[in-house]
Structure 1
């Protein structure tokens, strides 16, 4: 009987302090999760290659989509496999790797939120202030914004998890566990800066966008017959901006649907705990959002479908393929 009990422990020599090995009954579920992880990596890699390779896609908005695809790629490449490991096996990688995993987890999550905020701001400028958009927004400024988003996300989460990194085992109930618990102060800070503040800003910006877009659509319908050729070119450009706005609005709404349940315990005053016991469905829903974004692009962006076809058929290997007509 002792041998059986010892075999169930993560560290059999530590009888009184070792965690028990998780009961892995969801083999098919884990296979599905690994498949989703592979799908996330594949789809977001296609987005990254498309925007990076084809010159026609080198625009400020697409650069933000590229940054978002990088964070989504890291979710499928790093976060999901480790999360699956946490749910089906003991943690044997030590305290340092556990702390590193959660730092990377928090950085990727907050950078995704930052990318969504930048996308919302860019859409607001494109729709609500179109005359000054080209002077305010360009590739160089967007590159700086993206870099600042990732850098600020890194340092913010380093400060947020500083105590945890110093003593990663302080909240362990037994050896073989990997868990981070945010106390009331750090949980409140994270709730405000990663959830309430960004989500409020995104909602306000998109409400304003839809109000302006609605008034512009009415104006275009009422004067469409009296426009000359030159204004029609402007109308075509505005329609293109509106289509991009609708697509990115879907991305933002889907992100909010997948993201909000993750922080719902904080809104009710509960402690935020990330472990294999903390609402697995909510965590997987948050990660699954990384798979949905490329699918949305495939449905709404013809350029993405064209670029994927060229990538899959290896035509991007041809000389001058970067100048291909994608739009």
Structure 2
């Protein structure tokens, strides 16, 4: 019995709280397979989006450029962040080396925050397109879009570099994932981080998407209240279907965003550095968002079905 208790810890110095994995072999293997599939599918879907938009010049629009940059960020999540975090969480005894911890956390913060920034930019782009359609071509150009994309990446790089200094423990030898990431931070630092990383983006996204839905619904009613529906009776049905489809799409976007991002920031705000490793599985929720993004932002577009078919059939 004593040997079993001793085996629960990575190091037998009496000071470490790093415990070895206690899951059964079947659960352990199943989780590795599950996260590996998530990583592979994330890479495949985002790579398909990148090739589609990059190869076909007809798709080089401001909105698609935002989707392209978002796909690059999500591709890095699937290619680097998900596999590395899987090993870090599934292997509580740190096996990735002394300097890999800050690199892992910085890459994770950078990819997820830049992905979040792209969601904000896409919501702004759609808001201008729906609410100011006549001014959209002059206001939203390729040059301005690339500028916004560059600013988003630069801000993410700088902000995450500052955040990593306060979030990663580099003062003591790293022996487990908890010692790598969960360090005690000032309460106001957590508040400011949550406002910048969660509250502000979520408020912008939700507000703009609600505004988009209201304006689109109002425009639809104005158009079909002027007799168009009586002349073309089929259009009334089409308008209702279009309205329901728009509502469904926006609901999926907002719901996916909230489900993936709110839990991890709520846990970080409520709990301190004493949070156990089981709560760290919430880290994967924002990463899964990178798996869902290409489905929402690309698969809902008719052009993607055409380009994906041409690419997969090598035509």
TM-score normalised by the chain length of structure 1? 0.79
Which ranges of structure 2 fall in alignment gaps of 5 or more residues? 230-240
Residue 67 (str. 1) matches residue 66 (str. 2): no
Instruction: Give the deviation of 1:223 after TM superposition.
Output: 2.7
Residue 309 (str. 1) matches residue 309 (str. 2): yes
Q: Which residue of 32, 57, 74 maps to 1:30?
A: 32
Residue 291 (str. 1) matches residue 294 (str. 2): no
Name the SS for the 1:277 alignment partner: helix
Query: Deviations 1:125-150 (Å, cap 9, x if unpaired)?
Result: 11111121111101111011011101
User: Greater shift after overlay, 112-121 or 200-209?
Assistant: 200-209
Instruction: Give the deviation of 1:208 after TM superposition.
Output: 1.8
CA contact (8 A) 2:260 2:285 kept: yes
In the aligned structure 2, how far is the partner of 1:24 from the partner of 1:56? Answer: 51
CA contact (8 A) 1:107 1:153 kept: yes
Runs of 4+ in 1 over 6 A off after TM superposition: 1-8, 242-246, 272-275
Residue 193 (str. 1) matches residue 196 (str. 2): yes
In the aligned structure 2, how far is the partner of 1:197 from the partner of 1:52? Answer: 31
In the aligned structure 1, how far is the partner of 2:213 from the partner of 2:136? Answer: 17
Instruction: Give the deviation of 1:34 after TM superposition.
Output: 0.7
Q: Which residue of 47, 50, 75 maps to 2:49?
A: 47
Query: Deviations 1:170-221 (Å, cap 9, x if unpaired)?
Result: 5x8x724432336123211210001011111112212222221111001111
CA contact (8 A) 2:21 2:90 kept: yes
CA contact (8 A) 1:127 1:213 kept: yes
Q: What is the alpha-carbon root mean square deviation over aligned residues?
A: 3.3
Give the direction of change, closer, same or farther, for the CA distance of 1:153–1:248 in structure 2 (3 Å limit). Answer: farther
Q: Which residue of 259, 262, 268 maps to 1:260?
A: 262
Name the SS for the 2:183 alignment partner: strand
In the aligned structure 1, how far is the partner of 2:96 from the partner of 2:256? Answer: 34
Residue 92 (str. 1) matches residue 95 (str. 2): yes
CA contact (8 A) 1:168 1:180 kept: no
Q: Which residue of 157, 160, 165 maps to 1:162?
A: 165
CA contact (8 A) 2:45 2:294 kept: yes
Aligned length, in residue pairs: 299
CA contact (8 A) 1:297 1:304 kept: no
Q: Which residue of 250, 253, 262 maps to 1:251?
A: 253
Which ranges of structure 1 fall in alignment gaps of 5 or more residues? 227-238, 316-327
Instruction: Give the deviation of 1:28 after TM superposition.
Output: 1.1
In the aligned structure 1, how far is the partner of 2:56 from the partner of 2:250? Answer: 20
TM-score normalised by the chain length of structure 2? 0.82
In the aligned structure 2, how far is the partner of 1:64 from the partner of 1:265? Answer: 30
- Superposed counterparts of 1:61-210, under 5 Å: 61-89=63-91, 90-164=93-167, 167-169=169-171, 175-177=175-177, 178-181=180-183, 183=185, 184-210=187-213
User: Greater shift after overlay, 242-251 or 120-129?
Assistant: 242-251
CA contact (8 A) 2:49 2:298 kept: no
Name the SS for the 1:204 alignment partner: helix
CA contact (8 A) 2:62 2:142 kept: yes
User: Greater shift after overlay, 108-117 or 179-188?
Assistant: 179-188
Q: What is aligned with 2:272?
A: 271
CA contact (8 A) 1:37 1:81 kept: yes
